Amino acid sequence: MNVEHYGIIRDRLDAFISSGFVQTIIKPTLIKHSTATQIDNIYVKMRQLGKLGSGILTVDMSDYLPMFTFMGRRPPRKQAS
């Protein structure tokens, strides 16, 4: 994503990242004849997660591609006795 052209987008992205969030969707999800635009964002706070996966489904139903994110929690640590 080219955030340098849009100051407000750059500022918002910097705020999320500095707060510990990670952007999971980084590819375009709206594809037209001559353009592709990233209009969707999913942010997660990484300290809470064990595993993280995301993607975009490339189905030929419309110009808008559905996306997904799955998250797994870390198992609790055993306390030393």
DSSP string of 14-38, one letter each residue: HHHHHTTEEE---S--EE-SS-EE-
The answer to whether 38 touches 27, Cβ cutoff 8 Å, is yes
Average pLDDT over residues 13-26: 86
* 38-74 confidence digits (pLDDT tens): 777 788 886 655 678 888 888 777 788 888 888 777 6
Q: Is residue 79 part of a domain?
A: no
**For residue 18, what pLDDT band results from cuts at 50, 70 and 90?**
very high
* pTM of the entire predicted model: 0.57
pLDDT at 2 over 70: no
Number of folded domains that form the chain: 1
Average pLDDT, the chain: 78
Query: 16 lies in which domain range?
Result: 3-72
Residue 11 in domain: yes
Task: Give 49's contacts (C-beta < 8 A, 6+ positions apart).
Answer: 71, 72, 73, 74
